[in-house]
Chains A and B, each alone.
Chain A
Amino acid sequence: MTAPTLPARYRVAERRGETHDTVTLALQPVDQPIPAHQPGQFTMMYAPGIGEVPISISGTGPGAGLVQTVRAVGAVTRALCAAGQGQMIGLRGPYGTHWEVDRAAGGDLLIVAGGIGLAPLREALLAALGNGARYRRIVVLIGARSPAELVFGQELGGWRRGGAEVEVTVDQAMEGWAGHVGVVTQLLGYADIDPARTTALICGPEVMMRLTARELRALGVPAARIRVSLERNMRCGVAECGHCQLGPLLLCRDGPVISYDVAAPLLAIREL
Chain B
Amino acid sequence: MTAPGTPHGEPVSVAGAAELGGHAFLRGMPDAYVAVLARACRGTAARAGHRFFEEGGTADRFWLIVSGHVALDVSAPGRSRLIVETLGKGDLLGLSWLVPPYEWQFGAIAVQDTMAFELNAPAVRAACEGDPGLGYELLRRVMPAASSRLHAARIRMLDLYAAAGQAGDGP
Contacts and interface: CB of A to CB of B under 8 A. Distances in A.
B84 to A, nearest CB: 7
Contacts, number: 87
B6 to A, nearest CB: 20
Interface residues of B, number: 30
A102 to B, nearest CB: 27
Nearest to B91: A189
A189 B90 CA distance: 8
A183 B156 contact: yes
A178 B90 CA distance: 19
A164 B164 CA distance: 32
Contact of A74 (B88, B90, B160, B168): B168
Instruction: Give the 7 A-B residue pairs with the shortest CB-CB distance, closest first.
Output: A74-B169, A115-B161, A173-B83, A145-B161, A205-B160, A183-B152, A171-B156
B71 to A, nearest CB: 7
Interface of A: 21, 51, 53-54, 71-77, 114-116, 143-145, 149, 169, 171-173, 175, 177-183, 185-186, 189-190, 204-205, 207-208, 211, 231-234, 244
Contact of A114 (B80, B148, B160, B171): B160
B86 A143 contact: no
B85 interface: yes
B153 to A, nearest CB: 9
A67 to B, nearest CB: 19
Given A74-B168, A190-B88, A181 B71 contact: yes
Given A177-B83, A181-B85, A207 B155 contact: yes
A128 B78 CA distance: 46
Contacts of A244: 171
B115 to A, nearest CB: 14
B89 interface: yes
B130 interface: no
B162 interface: yes
Given A180-B86, A190-B89, A171 B159 contact: yes
Contacts of B162: 145
Given A115-B161, A145-B162, A171-B159, A73 B82 contact: no
Contacts of A115: 160-161
